Chains A and B, each alone.
Chain A
Amino acid sequence: DQQVKQNSPSLSVQEGRISILNCDYTNSMFDYFLWYKKYPAEGPTFLISISSIKDKNEDGRFTVFLNKSAKHLSLHIVPSQPGDSAVYFCAASAYYGQNFVFGPGTRLSVLP
């Protein structure tokens, strides 16, 4: 039973447009969420995080939105760039910094 779901295995977006990556979770005890980006042949790289006391966190072109009632979070990338093409993982924890559960990832392709 997947506690963290990323239902879109892949997403293609035109350069300059917005990319929206979605993540759903089932465990209502999750209170801290992260997004990671992964390029081929490299380890994941931390991108952005959000705690359950917030509903939005912004860092440059990246914004994460959290809807606790819907158990849903999304990552917005604006504007999308070809270098953003990677696999994006969301992760959730029921205790800050411990025992993160990862989703299966969404492969984003930004087309020039």
Chain B
Amino acid sequence: DSGVTQTPKHLITATGQRVTLRCSPRSGDLSVYWYQQSLDQGLQFLIQYYNGEERAKGNILERFSAQQFPDLHSELNLSSLELGDSALYFCASSPSGRVDTQYFGPGTRLTVL
């Protein structure tokens, strides 16, 4: 158990819908990262927050947005969902901004039908 929690574990929805994925970082960790893992693909870095502010942006679509709240939990919002958005979405946290101190959550599996 990494100490990072993600809810829900599984999510099934339809094209065109909007969903919110939630991540609670490890206690004391200031940085949160979001990743997408599509079928047969490697992890794709989406976005990083540090203490409430956006720190780095990766391959995040305009239909996707994220935020980190004052209590440091983070939400990833996916809208106008397409079939290709079906993937595992991982959240990770680290005490600093360093990825080599990153701890991953178990992921949320999103299925878009």
* Docked-complex contact A102 and B43, CB < 8 angstroms: yes
B residues 46-68 near A (Cβ < 8 Å) are 48, 55-58
B positions within 8 Å CB-CB of A: 2, 4, 35, 40-45, 48, 55-58, 90, 92, 97-107
Interface majority SS on B: helix, strand, loop or mixed?
A: mixed
| Cβ contact within 8 Å between A91 and B106 | no
> Which residues does chain A contribute within 8 Å of B107, judged by CB atoms?
43
- CB-nearest residue of chain B to A100: B45
Known: A4-B42, A43-B92, A44-B104. A97 touches B97 (CB 8 A): yes
Least Cβ–Cβ distance between A105 and chain B, in angstroms: 6
- Ordered by A's residue number, 7 sampled pairs between the chains whose C-beta atoms are within 8 Å are A34-B99, A44-B90, A91-B43, A97-B98, A99-B56, A102-B45, A103-B42
For the complex of A and B, list the 7 residue pairs with the smallest distance between their C-beta atoms, beginning with the closest.
A43-B104, A102-B42, A102-B43, A104-B42, A98-B56, A49-B100, A97-B98
How far does the Cβ of B48 sit from chain A's closest Cβ, in whole Å? Answer: 8
CB distance from B72 to the nearest CB of A (A): 18
